[in-house]
Amino acid sequence: MMIHIQNLHFSYENKEVLRDISLQAKEGELLGILGANGCGKSTLLKNMLGFLRPQKGQITINGESISYLKPKELANMLSYIPQKSILSMPLKVFDVLLAGRYAKLKNPLLGYQDADFMIVEEVAKALNVWEYKERIANTLSGGEFGRVLLARALVNSPRILLLDEPTSAMDLHYAVEMLSILHSLIQKHRICGIIVIHDLNLAGLFCDKVALMKNGYIVDIGEPKKLFESKKLGEVYQGLKCEVIEHNGNKIVIPKV
């Protein structure tokens, strides 16, 4: 499974937000989308999801334009974790997870089957959220709820997984744990993963490749250990002054104050 973006342009009214974006993400890899606030990262994800339609360019999945795919077909292939997710009803965690299987129902009138319940349990245990199954989801901490959202996305058995800042409400322990599990599952199940993330060091540890964005266009794409250098990061992050060191084969970014 591959998602391919070619010469994408998108504008809100008269403001151009995405400019000539081209990239591809492959199965079994996690691609990080990095850049300063307002550079177009979340808008790019929403174009991939079909929530927004570009003025120019195209997005294809395995060579087929998403413009020609029905919502049901996209929902079967894609799972998405938004930047903000609020539950308006006091649902149990188990019910939140089970809702992630809805797109896979062959006949909604027949409801969920034993196979659906088994997948929910398997994924929940892999992400260490099975113990929360009877708790009310909106009483969980930010880190706990973030892992529940990831589990809900994965119970859909997606071929493509899009994540918009999934670790923003997590402490470092939970963030490292979740990204480690995520990367392992992406490799194991050959999922095409694309994540918007702000923490450069976490991106360097867990992303196979990164795309650096600035003002709606992509500055560069490649492995973090090749792209993370102080001059380039200063260009992307509005004059950020930093030192980049190497540790155990990974690049570590240290801001200068």
DSSP 50-67: TSS--SEEEEEETTEEGG
Residues contacting residue 204 through CB under 8 Å, at least 6 positions apart = 224, 225, 228, 250, 251, 252, 253
Q: Specify the pLDDT at position 108.
A: 77
What are the backbone angles phi and psi of residue 21, rounded to the nearest 5°? -80, 125
Residue 170 exposed, middle or buried by CB count within 10 Å (0-12, 13-18, 19+)? buried
Contact (CB, 8 A) for 31 and 24: no
Calculate the alpha carbon distances from 192 to 62, 114, 148, 149, 207 in Å.
11, 27, 20, 18, 12
Calculate the alpha carbon distances from 135 to 1, 122, 126, 129 in Å.
35, 18, 18, 10
What are the backbone angles phi and psi of residue 69, rounded to the nearest 5°? -90, 140
d(CA 235, CA 203): 18
Tokens of 223: 């492995």
Query: How many separate domains does the chain show?
Result: 1
**Side chain identity at residue 101, one-letter code:** R
Q: Specify the pLDDT at position 150.
A: 93
Q: Specify the pLDDT at position 186.
A: 95
What are the backbone angles phi and psi of residue 160, rounded to the nearest 5°? -130, 135
Coil/strand/helix, residue 131: helix
d(CA 100, CA 158): 10
Q: Specify the pLDDT at position 103.
A: 86
Q: Specify the pLDDT at position 13.
A: 85
Tokens of 124: 């929940």
Could you list the pLDDT tens digit for every one of the 257 residues in the chain? Answer: 789 999 999 999 889 999 999 999 999 999 999 999 999 999 999 999 999 999 999 999 998 999 889 888 898 899 999 887 767 678 999 999 999 998 888 777 788 888 999 999 999 998 889 999 999 998 988 888 888 999 999 999 999 999 999 988 788 988 999 899 999 999 999 999 999 999 999 999 999 999 999 999 999 999 999 999 999 999 999 889 999 999 988 899 999 88
Q: Specify the pLDDT at position 110.
A: 80
Which range of residues forms the domain containing residue 118?
A: 2-255
Q: Specify the pLDDT at position 174.
A: 87
Contact (CB, 8 A) for 233 and 200: yes
Q: Specify the pLDDT at position 168.
A: 85
Strands (E), 84-241: 160-164, 192-196, 209-214, 217-222
CA 102 to chain CA mean position, Å: 20
DSSP state for residue 136 in the 8-state scheme: B
**Side chain identity at residue 252, one-letter code:** I
Q: Specify the pLDDT at position 104.
A: 85
Q: Specify the pLDDT at position 105.
A: 84
**CATH number of 84's domain:** 3.40.50.300
Q: Specify the pLDDT at position 238.
A: 87
**Side chain identity at residue 44, one-letter code:** L
Q: Specify the pLDDT at position 52.
A: 93
